[in-house]
Amino acid sequence: MVCNHELHCCSFLWLDLGISGGVTTMPPFLEKFFPSVLKKKEDATQSTYCVYDSQILTLFTSSLYLSGLVSSLLASRVTKVFGRKFAILFGGCTFLVGSIVNCTAPNVVLLILGRILLGFGVGFTNQAAPVYIAEMAPPKYRGAFNTGFQLFIAIGVLCANIINFVTSGLGKWGWRLSLGLAAAPAAIVLLGALLVTDTPSSLVERGKLPEARDALLKVRGANSDIETELSELVEACETAREVDQISFKTIFKKQYRPHLVISGGVPFFQQLIGINTIAFYAPVLFNSVGFGNDSALKGTILLGLVNVGSIAASMFMVDRFGRRALFIEGGIQMFICQVGLASILGATLGLSGKGEISKAAGSVILVLMCLYAAGFGWSWGPLCFLVPTEVCPVKIRPIGQSVSIAVHFSVTFIFSQTFLSQLCRFKYTVFLFYAGWIVIMTTFVVCLLPETKGVPLESMHTIWQQHWLRKKFTAPSPTMLQTIST
């Protein structure tokens, strides 16, 4: 029940992210805030690739990631000092305010201000929720629980796509209803967060041992023997306290560089495959390649359904086949789809962007995008949030998660802000650009990522003791092994 609420909170907070991509194709929204884009959309001589090429329009979406980057760096300290639960509550409050500002915005300035507030909410929640889930879940099912984080994100985006489809037919106020509906679930997140306990690790860190014992009993069961697990948590936190005062720069110390490489590398490569730009600009992308507005929103709903189904499948596979196998298979599948998309768009639209896409070619594009979404959904999507929470010891776990989320938001901001310009200038070859990064990221996994399936968080140091990357930085002594284990 406790972990389940945190999974639901991710669904609610990401509902607005899916909505933003859909409202950017609604004519009343464009007419009020971006009339120049609407004019290009209605211009028959305009290149198909360049209709939505507007830096202010992309700033509407990407400003969220910039503020999310800043808030995720602040969130590690807040999460450590005040607990995981407090960070989620704060994120929910900020998100609620941002939703209201977005819904009522009379001009572009307030519209973007609302997005910035939403970004602060998402930054705090994305930093705290995966750590919360990892620390609450039993080791045997930790992968499935953390994959649920991404599953509920996908459900939120799917709900957003359905809302956009319905509200697009409601006239000039439809987009306001779409943006405003995010306020209701954000309020539910706040109420639900008040009912859950903080994690045992966080409570022990803050010297609240009785509350930590109660929290363990609540999540493991009243009749469970929790004393061994509790004593391990106490020992880990005491050792971390004795070593030195924890600060953000701790993760940059030599012995933690392998953890830093994984915590930053996984989200870095996840964004370089283009999934968020494709997911949030899917309606725009479908419009750009010849789908009508209704057809674009229907195609986006189908993508959302595929994504939800594939992430649900990942929940059953991640603790069975391991993290590395899913990373590699997903990479190969997404590479094939990106090359296929580039080939079809190149053959139909060419570099001019003034060709026509037949119904058959459009169907193949939709199938390839669905296969791409499926490959992402059972590999890089959920595992990007799972692996950074696993590889870091308790001493630097909140910091490692902050680094991960900060990298995630910073790269997402850059690519969200530049994707439509890339599509306009690179035409169909933009998908070959992403395909090249997929090759690099899959190589990164093969060479650097250790398998963490089924390993308790308190014993994760045993994986790193044998890993060649860690040996390159330190030759562990017994004292250092004791430090890293905590």
Cβ neighbours, 10 Å, residue 116: 18
Residue 17: C-alpha distances to residues 22, 42, 366 (Å): 9, 26, 21
CATH 1.20.1250.20 fits 248-485, yes or no: yes
Q: Quote the pTM value.
A: 0.66
% helix, strand, coil for the chain, step of 5: 80, 0, 20
In terms of Cα–Cα distance, which of 335, 48, 475, 185 is closest to 484?
A: 475
CATH 3.40.47.40 fits 1-196, yes or no: no
The H or E element containing residue 118 is helix 108-136
Residue 445: C-alpha distances to residues 124, 326, 387, 438 (Å): 27, 10, 11, 11
End-to-end distance of the chain based on CA atoms, in angstroms? 28
Q: Measured between alpha carbons, how far is 2 from 136 in angstroms, rounded to an integer?
A: 8
Q: Measured between alpha carbons, how far is 261 from 69 in angstroms, rounded to an integer?
A: 18
- Please list the residue range(s) of the chain that carry CATH number 1.20.1250.20: 1-196, 248-485
Predicted local distance difference test score (pLDDT) of residue 66: 82
pLDDT in tens, the chain (486 residues): 444 444 444 444 445 556 666 677 788 888 888 888 778 777 756 666 676 677 787 788 778 878 887 887 788 778 878 888 888 888 888 888 988 998 888 888 898 898 889 888 888 887 787 778 777 777 777 777 777 766 777 777 778 778 877 887 787 888 888 888 877 777 877 877 788 888 888 888 888 888 888 888 887 777 777 787 788 788 777 766 654 455 677 777 777 888 888 888 888 888 787 776 566 556 656 665 556 556 666 777 787 888 888 888 888 888 888 888 899 999 999 999 889 988 888 887 776 656 666 777 777 888 888 899 899 888 888 888 788 878 877 777 777 877 887 888 788 788 777 777 777 777 778 888 889 999 999 999 888 888 877 777 666 677 766 666 655 655 444 444 444 444
Burial class (CB in 10 A: 0-12, 13-18, 19+), 225: exposed
Predicted local distance difference test score (pLDDT) of residue 8: 45
Helix extents (H) in 349-396: 359-377, 380-391
The CA-based diameter of the chain, rounded to the nearest angstrom, is 72
- The DSSP-derived string for 427-480 is GGGHHHHHHHHHHHHHHHHHHHPPP-TT--GGGTHHHHHT-HHHHHH----HHH
